[in-house]
Structure 1
Amino acid sequence: MVLPSFGVPRNLRERITETLRAAVISGELRPGAVHSAPHLAAQFGVSATPVREAMLDLVKEGLVDTVRNKGFRVTEPSEKDLDDLSELRALIEVPTVRRLAETGVDPQVLARLRPLAAGIERAAVEHDLIAHVATDMQFHLMLLAEAGNPQLVEVVRSLRARSRIYGLRRLAEREELVPSSAEHAQLLDLLEARDADGAQALMDRHIRHVRGIWAG
């Protein structure tokens, strides 16, 4: 694994945490597998300390468990858990995106989101699933922040972190990930046009992908 910059300033621990979180969500770090901090640190080309700190952050999020004298085991949510997470995301994100389309999003914010949307598509083209998931997370949280409710953003951050989209690798290999990744730029176009119905429909479809074609 490598440490992408994600397009915004991050300290080393934050970059490692984001990368490992995305690796768990995408299935690049498989459920049940045990990973030691020194082994992961060697892949990143860094010392074990920031990796261990990052993994402890993921323990708090429920993404990994500690294994005494061995490292960290990736947790595996049940299918029911994943269905429930997707349902909650839809209940929160879809109406929020509609409201943003109705009230309008600051053009400067839309301009900052465009490079992230492009980065998601680029990661899909390059089959870089970790960068794809991490940049997707940044895109959606930055957009939702425009609703002016920090608690909402933190809830969605937690829901997204606990999701799993193991089908991304298969979609990338079939060259089917790029079309769905293009939905981010399409969403920005709809928001810019203040097309509330279109933005709502696209966001609903986007979340359904998590438990549909992206699920694996």
Structure 2
Amino acid sequence: MTEQTSAPRPPRASIRQYVADTLRAALIAGELAPGQVYSAPALAKQLDVSATPVREAMLDLARDGMVDVVPNTGFRITQVTPRDLDQITEVRLLLEVPIMGEVAAASGAERDTQVNALRPIVDEMVDAARRKDLTSYLSADATFHTRFLALHGNDILVATVRELRDRTRLHGLKGVADAGHLVENTNEHYAMIDAALEHDRAAMEQIMRDHIGHVRTNWAAEEN
């Protein structure tokens, strides 16, 4: 995982969430390598925080099955197979495509205001993509998608999709960023906002099919 010394230190009250979001994003991006064991003090040093919030975050990841506890040593990143990713992608398509279509089809000034409020998050993603900061990128990406889905009003759905996203591995994302294509892919998020503001269910559903499809194509994890 790349060191975070250039990033501003978050307020004390938000350090635990900052650590949790950063570690999850680093794990998904492959910056925490599958099979490798990491110690809480070493990760804490990279993030410029104490070891306590790191241990708490890693224990949360262990409960989610994303890491295994190695007694007296640290935490081992779990493997996710290509078959796992295929199944995760299939479930996400079944859940997110129709629900996002319903979100797009909904109308109302308040709903449109909520959709427009997502645009600055995409701006953050574009900035992170240009800097090739994958942990920041994926953290903002998770915020964008969960807030968008939350407009449907089903908290269980949001939690389910969040868990599926956390279990995804996107080791190929670095190659996309290095090739300069990540900003282009990120523009799909602006297209989602536009489809919702235009109440275009069909457009939204197609955007989501293409977007989730990246998980098993150009954003795909390396074969194990």
State the partner residue of 1:132. 137
Q: Which runs of 5+ in 1 are unaligned?
A: none
Shift in Å at residue 156 of structure 1? Answer: 0.4
Q: Deviations over 1:104-143 (max 9, x none)?
A: 3712212220011111111111100001111100000000
Q: Which position in structure 2 is the counterpart of 1:143?
A: 148
Task: Choose from 192, 195, 202 the match for 2:207.
Answer: 202
Whether 1:35 aligns to 2:38 is yes
Percent identical among aligned pairs is 42
TM-score by length of 2: 0.91
Contact 1:118 1:185 in 2 (8 A): no
2:4 corresponds to? 2
Is residue 25–residue 162 contact of structure 1 (8 Å, CA) maintained in 2?
yes
- Equivalent residue number for residue 57 of structure 1: 60
In the aligned structure 2, how far is the partner of 1:54 from the partner of 1:23? Answer: 13
* Equivalent residues of 1:27, 1:165 under 8 A apart: yes
Deviates more, 1:166-175 or 1:9-18: 9-18
DSSP-derived class of the 2:151 partner: helix
Distance 1:15 1:190, change over 3 A: same
CA deviations over 1:28-57 (Å, ceiling 9, x no partner): 111111110000111111111111111101
Q: Which residue of 2 aligns with 1:22?
A: 25
Aligned to 2:164: 159
Distance 2:158 2:179 in 1: 33
Equivalences, count: 214
Shift of 1:10: 6.8
Q: Deviations over 1:3-44 (max 9, x none)?
A: 868x9x972111101100000001011111111000011111
Letter in 2 for 1:154: A
| CA–CA separation in structure 1 for the residues paired with 2:29 and 2:13 | 21
Unaligned runs of 5+ in 2: none
TM-score, scaled relative to structure 1: 0.95
